[in-house]
Structure 1
């Protein structure tokens, strides 16, 4: 079965072997970082999400206690609590209904629960939606992260691991740009030397809610043409098990705000993933509708940016990325960005992000629409 923490869009037979067949590669599981969690007070932000919920389960399985679940969604919290403790909402101080965008509330939460390790998985993550809601992306992904970093420093948290994305490498989207800025927020916090910080870049996680695979499953089950951005589009994919084990291992490695990535091998061509998925479900290979690249999308993703260098770690499956230093006026420029986001200046944010990051180049204005391509049958591919 798939992970038990959340309903997923993969078939019931989903497991390591099924995932390996879909990705045409073995799962890459990192060394055991279990000792870094045993007996620790752990806080998981975004605990109701696909990654956060599995992280909560994994932390509990590795002996972390207590494990605090924080999310701003009641239904998501209820679901993960039920799966973790076999009960709905009761008088449980380990379940925290809170919004990371509320700085004062984050300070209160950290003072109350006194976490030793924080796994920060809360984020807005849907690329196309965020292209049209840049202010919300900035307020959550950048300043929500800043609120957590500040609260962690004030409460002398031992370790803080931030879940980033491969789209932060040479970002072309609002999602990628805000996640890349959040990495710099984490690195800036690490300069205080009170908390050991790290960030982890993921590829696309199979079966996460709202992912490409969930759209693919929906379309296949209804006999619809499958929508793909581009015939040559490639993406990095990883299983939720790979993602969570990577986060756990990095919690043992965290130090000065380093950014880590998993060795995921070659990127997967999306049309090949569609074909393998259909065959694994014993369905005919579907017709494909190429929509054209949406604003913010790339034909090819990368995990390591053009101005970054990857270095080996003690685990052959984990790379450490060496990034350029955070710019000296970073904090001051963040204040300007905050003002734009709070004032709802959607039209100005992409340029402000580009000036702050340097590596971010908006591919198109937010109002541009991609032109759908032709419908191709499987025989024409």
Structure 2
């Protein structure tokens, strides 16, 4: 199935649609002739900016609303074919001190999305999750872990409803709000010390286009209940700092400040339990459902028939530490992505 067939003449709703990812998704989906794209977000200022950014495109509908408000969400989802659930509270350190608010948006908000999809007979819904949901150690990760369960398990507890629920999981997107590159560059340009939580810290590299393509592939290949994870390279944060210092011919001092509340040294995308039911296909992994009885399917999904099941003797988890590339390769990659 082509992307054009997925989106052509379809009504798409994106929760958190005025954010960085929502803007990237909107730009790309418009290429495939949707009937309309409904951007659901509580920030009216961002809605105004979106209208300006897309020159008041008549295919874009700006809907003010919060995923906590079920009645508003239900109304916004009338007649919708595809839902991309990207709304979330995400700031790790802040959420450690606002646990209840995180639960209200990231868990109850996701539950509202699921129930509204069922009520409105949406064809397919994709939730955007995070590596923090894998073996969570912080409030954000724990809430996203539960949200993943809502999407993967509700797929098999929906009665006769047709909605397919699936999930994508990845880390921070380069260039997105709060991205490390502009943060570090600002410190370097202003001659300030560069704060680094831990010199061992590694992170996966995912570009905006990669994140959008992963969501599109989830829409294309999902039968329901899966978690789609991209194959990515990783880098050491300290080496990125060195590259940026070289770019600006700076001698800025690095200050080790220690881990923030809820922060991990390495990103974990798949744990040892998930790997046992994971398939490798094209440029991503698919963690299959633990409750789907695949042997009873009339037709296996393509990621099983044409993909390859992971050999747990060769790979028993998927972590950024093991995917690190050299500083020179990081520089080449960032230049190719036009980030340097």
Question: Structure 1 length normalisation: TM-score?
Answer: 0.71
Distance 1:232 1:32, change over 3 A: farther
Q: 1:104: how far off?
A: 1.6
Distance 1:229 1:318 in 2: 30
Distance 1:110 1:195 in 2: 13
Q: 1:242: how far off?
A: 0.8
Distance 1:283 1:63, change over 3 A: farther
Find the counterpart in structure 1 of residue 301 from structure 2: none
Distance 1:225 1:133, change over 3 A: same
Q: 1:205: how far off?
A: 0.5
Distance 2:273 2:94 in 1: 28
What runs of 5+ residues in structure 1 fail to find an aligned partner? 1-30, 327-381
Q: 1:213: how far off?
A: 2.8
Q: 1:189: how far off?
A: 2.2
Deviation track 1:305-342 (CA, whole Å, cap 9, x = no partner) reads: 232116335x421111146559xxxxxxxxxxxxxxxx
Distance 1:212 1:129 in 2: 17
Q: 1:93: how far off?
A: 7.8
In structure 2, which of residues 9, 19, 31 is the aligned counterpart of residue 61 of structure 1? 31
Find the counterpart in structure 2 of residue 245 from structure 1: 213
Alpha-carbon RMSD across the aligned residues, in angstroms, is 2.1
Find the counterpart in structure 1 of residue 264 from structure 2: 298
In structure 2, which of residues 265, 284, 303 is the aligned counterpart of residue 318 of structure 1? 284
Distance 1:285 1:175, change over 3 A: farther
- Runs of 4+ more than 3 Å apart: 31-34, 322-326
Note if contact 1:169-1:180 (Cα within 8 Å) is conserved in structure 2: yes
Note if contact 1:161-1:254 (Cα within 8 Å) is conserved in structure 2: no
Distance 1:155 1:167 in 2: 30
Distance 1:35 1:273, change over 3 A: farther
Distance 2:101 2:235 in 1: 31
Note if contact 2:36-2:59 (Cα within 8 Å) is conserved in structure 1: no
Find the counterpart in structure 2 of residue 334 from structure 1: none
Distance 1:285 1:165 in 2: 34
Note if contact 1:275-1:285 (Cα within 8 Å) is conserved in structure 2: no
Flag the structure with more relative contact order, 1 or 2, with Cα contacts below 8 A and sequence separation at least 6: 1
Distance 1:55 1:176 in 2: 23
Alignment of structure 1 residues 31-70 onto 2, 5 Å: 33-70=3-40
Distance 1:87 1:109 in 2: 19
Note if contact 1:173-1:297 (Cα within 8 Å) is conserved in structure 2: yes
Find the counterpart in structure 2 of residue 261 from structure 1: 229
In structure 2, which of residues 72, 75, 83 is the aligned counterpart of residue 105 of structure 1? 72
Distance 1:121 1:256 in 2: 18
Note if contact 1:103-1:147 (Cα within 8 Å) is conserved in structure 2: yes
**1:229 and 2:229 correspond:** no
Note if contact 1:32-1:249 (Cα within 8 Å) is conserved in structure 2: no
Q: 1:35: how far off?
A: 2.8
Query: How many residues align structurally?
Result: 288
Distance 1:100 1:268, change over 3 A: same
Q: 1:212: how far off?
A: 2.6
Distance 1:37 1:92, change over 3 A: closer
What runs of 5+ residues in structure 2 fail to find an aligned partner? 293-340
